[in-house]
Amino acid sequence: MGSMNPVNWRERVPVWKAIEASPLPAGAPSEKAKIVIVGTGLVGLAQAIDLGQRGHDVVVLGRFDFIPLGSKAICFSKRSLDILDRLGVGEQSVERGVVWNVGKVFWKEERAPVYQFDMLPVKNQKMPGFINIQQYYLEEMLIARAMELPNVDIRWGHDVTAIDPGEGSVGVEVASAAGGYHIDAEWLIACDGNKSTIRELMGLDFEGRVFEDNFLIADVKMKGERPSERWFWFDPPFNPGKSVLLHKQPDDVWRIDFQLGWNIDREACIRPENVDPLIRAMLGQDVEYEQEWYSVYTFQCRRMARFVHGRVLFAGDSAHLVSPFGARGCNGGFADIDNLGWKLDLILRGEADASLLESYNEEAIATADENILNSTRSTDFITPKSKISTIFRDAVLELSGEVPFAQGLVNSGRLSTAVSYSGSALNTPDGEDWQGKGIAPGSPALDAPLDEGWLLERLGGRFVLLTNGDPGFAVPGVETIDLSSISNAARALERHDLTPGAAILIRPDHYVAARWKSPTAAAVAGALARAKGALPS
């Protein structure tokens, strides 16, 4: 049995909104569950909604009986918004958040940006390139959505203290203020964050690189007429030799992120009297603002060697950590649960073998590796580790004001976009020459407007055969959507290069699995089987 005296987390972690602690479940002291998710952070909540919407009974265990105050993540990518939309909170998030597409990079005292980018190069999609929103607002929306699903049972203040991973099930010991109990879970998804209890209890690795630098987050409330864009400075007069990042959040809250360097007093630097001069130097001596949240962080890039360990599956920060430049942390975590949800669903329904999870391991690791690679490169550009590295960095910034090519080398963070799984075993390689057009297997379908609504909305969360014309056959387990029967589908057809008669098979996570200029029932069935983990025949 779990311990009877769990930690009082409210004394250790600042609380944004208290939630009543959950009582002992009806099944205590020992119950059985199909799916146990550990963690009520953004990733655990999103996973619970995904599996709940697919009709499964889900138990979510969270050690906190509150939503924490510290808003770590604020930037959410278009890809995450598409996922959140499928989970029922996309529109709300966009409405509540601050929409932005453009990022500008400044150097020294120059007023004109040395570089500028657009996170939504293809327009006419439902979701914008990015939104900024306080993490607690998004958590609150996900909680409300999860509570609409009667089969999702979130247990607040229930702390996992021990696990026993077995062949047929995973034993879970839970401590709560109401007492301890045991769950015998068929599957356990560890969304328990970067200090993952589950990972530590299982003695699993978490290798990577630690960066020797400190960054100050000053979330301040102030009125101001600045555009909702991401502004980044290299070596500005108000933080000489270092970087500064400015982001707008809802409710007139602005996030200012100051690079501080390595040898600093971490306690002292978040005292208001020490933050104040930095803010005034940047925004003017007479600026009026209120402190919202100050914190100092260092960062690491790490990942587990494998995310799948028998019946224990890791997702989000428990499995991988990146530096914040590029907003790839939580956005990467949402990619995990989007990938894992439909696969576990098929396995639980007996429509796929448990070996399909191997593709989660591969695809989620491909995503994590791309995120780690990009955020490591950004970090090395933003905080050069040697004199010569600084010289090259400054040469790039200087040249970017003189010749166009150098702008492409300016790296203030390569912001999160969907990662392609071009080498995935679930893809059926093209049999025809698509001449580089459309969306190849292993990449996500591209949104486009339809008569009413949007393509990605229509796709939902199941296998879809998207066609241009009636294919003349139906394949069990696949819904056919004939775009030629929908008005205003020209952009959707063009974006996927769907010439008359052509078709693409799209996975429940909106990734393209296969495509044909002239499909046959057998070819589609074969590609479907392969996307569900069967070996190609």
| Residue 391 beta carbon to another protein: minimum distance, rounded to whole angstroms | 5
Handedness of CA 305, 306, 307, 310 (dihedral sign): negative
Pair 52, 150: CB distance under 8 Å:
no
Pair 322, 328: CB distance under 8 Å:
yes
Is 392 a residue that touches another protein (CB under 8 A)?
yes
Measured torsion, CA atoms of residues 16, 341, 481, 442, in degrees rounded to the nearest 10: 110
Return the number of the residue (39 or 471) whose C-beta is nearest ligand FAD.
Answer: 39
Q: How many CB atoms lie within 10 A of CB 537?
A: 6
DSSP conformational letter for 403: -
Cα separation of 380 and 254, whole Å? 25
Return the number of the residue (85 or 159) whose C-beta is nearest ligand FAD.
Answer: 159
* Residue in 288, 398, 432, 470 binding another protein, rule: CB under 8 A: 398
Give the residue closest to ligand FAD by C-beta: 41
Cα separation of 479 and 502, whole Å? 16
* Residue in 31, 276, 358, 394 binding another protein, rule: CB under 8 A: 394
Angle at which helices 78-86 and 329-348 pack, to 10 degrees? 40
Q: Using CB under 8 A as the criterion, what x/- string covers residues 238-267 for binding another protein?
A: ------------------------------
Return the number of the residue (378 or 407) whose C-beta is nearest ligand FAD.
Answer: 378
User: Using CB under 8 A, which of the segments 113-121, 370-378, 384-392, 474-482 binds another protein?
Assistant: 384-392
Question: 3-state class of 497 per DSSP?
Answer: coil
| Residue 384 beta carbon to another protein: minimum distance, rounded to whole angstroms | 12
Residues forming a β-bridge with 62:
156
User: Using CB under 8 A, which of the segments 143-151, 293-301, 399-407, 485-493 binds another protein?
Assistant: 399-407
Closest C-alpha to 445, from 120, 43, 125: 125
Question: 3-state class of 258 per DSSP?
Answer: strand
CA–CA distances in Å: residue 304 to residues 212, 339, 371: 21, 17, 14
Cα separation of 299 and 294, whole Å? 16
First to last CA, the chain: 49
Return the number of the residue (123 or 387) whose C-beta is nearest another protein.
Answer: 387
Q: Which one of ligand FAD, another protein, none is in contact with 396 (Cβ closer than 5 to 8 A by kind)?
A: another protein
Q: Which one of ligand FAD, another protein, none is in contact with 388 (Cβ closer than 5 to 8 A by kind)?
A: another protein
List of residues contacting ligand FAD (CB under 6 A): 38-44, 61-64, 72-75, 159-160, 191-193, 197, 217, 297, 316-317, 324, 327, 329-331, 333
Q: Which one of another protein, ligand FAD, none is in contact with 409 (Cβ closer than 5 to 8 A by kind)?
A: another protein
Return the number of the residue (383 or 467) whose C-beta is nearest ligand FAD.
Answer: 383
Return the number of the residue (399 or 486) whose C-beta is nearest another protein.
Answer: 399
Cα separation of 20 and 18, whole Å? 7
Return the number of the residue (100 or 234) whose C-beta is nearest another protein.
Answer: 234
Instruction: List residues binding another protein (CB under 8 A).
Output: 387-388, 391-392, 394-396, 398-399, 403, 405-406, 409
